[in-house]
């Protein structure tokens, strides 16, 4: 069942989410939440979704970190689940790109992010994993991770001039020159 997405102004988007207990992960209720989150993310064509965005203040997010295979356009997208994630290392190098967010899809924000990160997390089987991510997947994961701490893209804008209506992106790129644009909201 697709869930309602919390929109900017909802207090849950500004709260620090609570960790998931190991014994919760195997429960039917938890599996249902993950399944509903996946459905919600796919229904809204997002590339990521954090639990606080569906009014669940827990440290869980989904992210599409494996790009779609152009050879298999009908294959279901691979969606990774990150439970109790911790970013344990990041490159010094920072890159800016325009990002959308499912909690305020009307806006795009130019957000500087670390180019590469290392993240530790639990998967839906409760296994402890580590991932090294670079470029776009690293950006998506940093965006979702921020949601767990109540941080939004608008907080990370270097200037309020870096917050625009999504509908006006072409005019902005024409004026300010090319910058990367995320293809999908998070």
Pairing of strands 180-181, 128-134: unpaired
**Angle, alpha carbons 60-91-79 (nearest 5°):** 30
Name the nearest CA neighbour of 103 among 10, 34, 3, 2: 10
What track of x and - describes contact with Ni ion for positions 49 through 88 (by CB under 5 A)?
----------------------------------------
Selected range binding Ni ion among 37-45, 71-79, 97-105, 134-142, rule: CB under 5 A: 97-105
Q: Judged by CB, which is closer to Ni ion: 47, or 172?
A: 47
Q: Which of 33, 79, 101, 109 binds Ni ion (CB under 5 A)?
A: 101
Name the nearest CA neighbour of 162 among 109, 106, 99: 109
- Of these residues, 144, 168, 175, 186, which one is catalytic? 144
Query: Which residue in this structure is represented by tokens 């917050």?
Result: 163
Count of residues of this chain found to bind Ni ion when the rule CB under 5 A is applied:
2
Q: Judged by CB, which is closer to Ni ion: 25, or 144?
A: 144
Sheet bearing 180-181, strands edge to edge: 163-165, 107-114, 94-99, 180-181
- What is the smallest separation between the CB atom of 51 and Ni ion, expressed in angstroms? 12
Whether residue 99 lies in the annotated active site: no
């Amino acid at each position: 069942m697709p869930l309602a997405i919390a929109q900017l102004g909802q207090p849950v988007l500004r709260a620090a989410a609570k960790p998931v207990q190991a014994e919760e992960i195997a429960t039917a209720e938890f599996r249902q939440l993950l399944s509903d989150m996946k459905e919600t993310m796919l229904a809204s064509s997002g590339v990521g979704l954090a639990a606080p965005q569906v009014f669940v203040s827990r440290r869980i997010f989904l992210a599409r970190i494996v790009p779609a295979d152009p050879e298999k356009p009908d294959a279901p997208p691979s969606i990774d689940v990150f439970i109790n994630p911790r970013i344990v290392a990041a490159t010094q190098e920072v890159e800016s790109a325009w990002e959308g967010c499912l909690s305020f899809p009307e806006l795009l924000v130019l957000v500087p992010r670390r180019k590469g990160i290392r993240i530790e997390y639990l998967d839906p089987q409760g296994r402890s994993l580590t991932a090294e991510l670079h470029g776009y997947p690293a950006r998506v994961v940093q965006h979702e991770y921020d949601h767990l701490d109540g941080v939004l893209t608008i907080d990370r804008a270097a200037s309020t001039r870096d917050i625009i209506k999504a509908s006006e992106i072409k005019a902005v790129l024409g004026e300010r020159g090319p910058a990367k644009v995320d293809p999908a909201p998070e």
